[in-house]
Chains A and B, each alone.
Chain A
Amino acid sequence: MTALSLLYSLVYQFGDNFAYLVLAALGLAVIFGMMGVINLAHGEFIMCGAYVTIISARHGLPLPLAMLLGALAAAIAGIIIERLVIRHLYDRLFDSVVATWAISLIVQQTMLLVAGPSLEGIGTPFGSFSLGDYSFSTYRAVLPAIALGILLALYWLFFRTNYGVCARATIQNARMAQCLGLRTDRLYTLTFALGAGLAGLTGALYAPTMTVVPTMGSNFIVQAFVAVVVGGANVIAGTTPAAGILAIIQTGLTASYGQLFGQIGLLVTVIIVIRLMPQGLGNLFSRSR
């Protein structure tokens, strides 16, 4: 029984790390992979989703609905920002990155002024279950399944729907897609909104489990970057194995040497991966372009 619960505890921690890496990275990976833009306001979309979720849940909305509302709010914020700022910078990639950083600073600091340093949270739902000597949070045990569900949904979206085909056509050759009558500007807006909405959903999903503060986005950003760097520009074929491998490394190191070495392990992995596979893991799985 002890051996079993110890084993499950490792699986649980792996699942937890995996879910965190996947969820943190997906929004960033969609926007980077599809549009080439590194969205440094990623953390602020996460924060937006978390705030909307908490506030609407405390106004009596059922939690799943509140989470959807949070994701929706982030997606709408994404549409606004894409229309106002990012749209003008598509031919200047560096500037688009810098602009999203400016947005991140403005939003984060304004939230600090307006909303104060922290928000009273809502408890983690579903309680906990125990196995042997260990006790686990049910909600966090379910999160990896949700992460996998979102990955499957994205796969379906990109490979089985009309939007997905058009979006992939636009990444491959925007001008050609335009000549064939696709409205690429609208596709870019939709894709940016999708990425922002995914970030918002991440915030919404983690809102019950952590203290919601205006700077909470930075907690996610390291993991998100690490996963995207290791995964490369390929959204699904890159992010999933990257998150899996990184979660194994992090779980193993954390279990044997502590949290700190888990973090260092991530950094070392990033440095080794960029030297050996500069295009990221995703490149191993996709045809060379």
Chain B
Amino acid sequence: MKQLELVSRGARRKRATSLSLKFLPWLVALGLPLIVDSNASGNFAYCLVWAFGAIGLAAMWGYGGILSFGQTAFFGLSGYAYGIIALNFGDSWITSWGSLLAALVVSVAAATLIGYMIFYGRIKGVFIGIVTLSITLVLETFMSQTAGPQWAIGAAKLNGYNGMGGMPQLTIPWHGGPLTLENTSFYYFVLALLALIYRVTRKLLDGPFGLTLIAIRENPQRAEMLGVDIRRHQLLIFVFGSTLGGLSGVLYTIWGSYITPSTMGLTSAALPVIWVATAGRKSIGGAIIGTALLVWLSQNLAVYGSQYALILLGSILLIVVLLAPEGLLPYVITHLRRLATRPQSNAVPEPQTALKAGRGSKS
């Protein structure tokens, strides 16, 4: 009886800490612009912009077992699409939001096409990686070659390797003239969008769809025998994840008013994989925090030269893969928890099923 009471009290305490842990990052993120100036908030917005693509990759890789190297392809595709549409249709608030939606539709369409080819062609495992990576790299080569006046779509000049610039920012109608979303307001917009996407993704992945995905990841054959249409599920999560990569691209284009082909290059394509692998691919929230932190870190290191940041990121990735294959954040948390529980002799050993469940990197 006493034991039971202990258990329930422990569980309650655990729930309380996990609740506060869950909301703490959001509270910190909400409060950040209050202590820094608006320029710095704009910078934090930049760190958060990349998190969408990371969420998408974590959903595909951690839950669906699909390691896509094509996040930056959709990033570039949607970024360019936003630029082309927005430059052609002016900068009223309707067109800027319309361009955002249209750019996402472009990603959805491209992801559906590529995903159809991949999953209905029954491509599996690491092969998905090379297919998506070759598409990304050819897209980069293609965009790099679009220099010259003949490469213009309407009013938008593609400008080859130097990239495209001068896109309008998002505006919202306001009494007394339209309000441009920049710096602090853009930060809050991105944060709100991030919270929304986080909720939607969690809802999706914690529900029957996510469970089915895990079943497919763990054993595709068994899932198929149970009547699951694995190709449809994989296609859906691929489109979902890739579109989030596209969303990152649109927001990046809006943030900096420019996009270049090098955002799709081999080096850029490695970054989402590094962030998600480091943060732990099974955790959506971890992917957001890890990505924001790593982008912030590389931004600060880039002052000394972009090489140092990339060498550091590469080394982190190598260490993570060799020592903490579940990701650095989960590794640290597990070890901290083990340290915290060791001194209490009568603590009930808790089953760590959540962390151990499914090391699904099989292919």
In the complex, the chain B residue whose C-beta lies closest to that of A105 is B314
A-B contact count (CB 8 A): 132
Q: Which of A8-16, A62-70, A118-126, A223-231 contacts B (4 or more CB under 8 A)?
A: A223-231
Contact across chains for B305 and A228 when beta carbons are under 8 A apart: no
Q: How far is the CA of A275 from the CA of B318 in the complex (A)?
A: 33
In the complex, the chain A residue whose C-beta lies closest to that of B276 is A98
CB distance from A7 to the nearest CB of B (A): 28
Q: Which of A104, A106, A278 contacts B121 (CB 8 A)?
A: A278
Q: Is B141 an interface residue (CB 8 A)?
A: yes
Contact across chains for B361 and A93 when beta carbons are under 8 A apart: yes
Q: Is A99 an interface residue (CB 8 A)?
A: yes
Q: Using A95-B361, A99-B318, A110-B311 as known contacts, say yes or no to A260 and B145 having CB atoms under 8 A apart.
A: yes
In the complex, the chain A residue whose C-beta lies closest to that of B151 is A260
Q: Which of B131, B133, B315 contacts A106 (CB 8 A)?
A: B315
A104-132 contact mask (Cβ, 8 Å, vs B): 1 or 0:
11101110110000000000000000000
Q: Which of B166-174, B242-250, B264-272 contacts A (4 or more CB under 8 A)?
A: B264-272
In the complex, the chain A residue whose C-beta lies closest to that of B137 is A222
A260 surroundings in chain B (CB, below 8 A): 142, 145
Contact across chains for B322 and A278 when beta carbons are under 8 A apart: no
Interface of A is mostly: helix
A37 surroundings in chain B (CB, below 8 A): 126
B110-137 contact mask (Cβ, 8 Å, vs A): 1 or 0:
0000100110111101110111011101
Interface residue tally on B, bucketed by range: 35 or more
Q: How far is the CA of A92 from the CA of B137 in the complex (A)?
A: 25
B120 surroundings in chain A (CB, below 8 A): 275
For window 157-179 of B, CB contacts with A under 8 Å fall at none
Q: Is A80 an interface residue (CB 8 A)?
A: no
A88-108 contact mask (Cβ, 8 Å, vs B): 1 or 0:
110011110111011111101
Q: Using A109-B311, A228-B130 as known contacts, say yes or no to A222 and B141 having CB atoms under 8 A apart.
A: yes
Contact across chains for B361 and A263 when beta carbons are under 8 A apart: no
Q: How far is the CA of A280 from the CA of B150 in the complex (A)?
A: 37
A270 surroundings in chain B (CB, below 8 A): 131, 134-135
Q: Using A93-B126, A105-B310, A267-B135 as known contacts, say yes or no to A98 and B321 having CB atoms under 8 A apart.
A: yes
Contact across chains for A221 and B307 when beta carbons are under 8 A apart: no
In the complex, the chain A residue whose C-beta lies closest to that of B145 is A260
A104 surroundings in chain B (CB, below 8 A): 266, 270, 314
Q: Is B273 an interface residue (CB 8 A)?
A: yes
Q: Is A152 an interface residue (CB 8 A)?
A: no
Contact across chains for B325 and A92 when beta carbons are under 8 A apart: yes
Q: Is A76 an interface residue (CB 8 A)?
A: no
CB distance from B50 to the nearest CB of A (A): 17
Contact across chains for B307 and A109 when beta carbons are under 8 A apart: yes
Name the residue in A43, A89, A103, A274 with the highest tally of chain B Cβ atoms < 10 Å from its Cβ: A274
Q: Is B277 an interface residue (CB 8 A)?
A: yes
Q: Is B274 an interface residue (CB 8 A)?
A: yes
Q: Which of A85, A98, A113, A271 contacts B307 (CB 8 A)?
A: A113
Contact across chains for A36 and B141 when beta carbons are under 8 A apart: no
Q: How far is the CA of A7 from the CA of B321 in the complex (A)?
A: 52
Contact sample, A vs B, 14 pairs, CB 8 Å cutoff: A94-B125, A97-B126, A98-B277, A99-B322, A101-B270, A102-B315, A103-B314, A105-B270, A105-B311, A105-B314, A109-B311, A222-B141, A274-B121, A275-B117
Q: Which residues of A contact B (CB under 8 A)?
A: 36-38, 43, 85, 88-89, 92-95, 97-99, 101-106, 108-110, 112-113, 218, 221-222, 225-226, 228-229, 259-260, 263-264, 266-267, 270-271, 274-276, 278
Nearest 5 A/B pairs, CB to CB = A105-B314, A102-B317, A106-B314, A225-B134, A102-B318
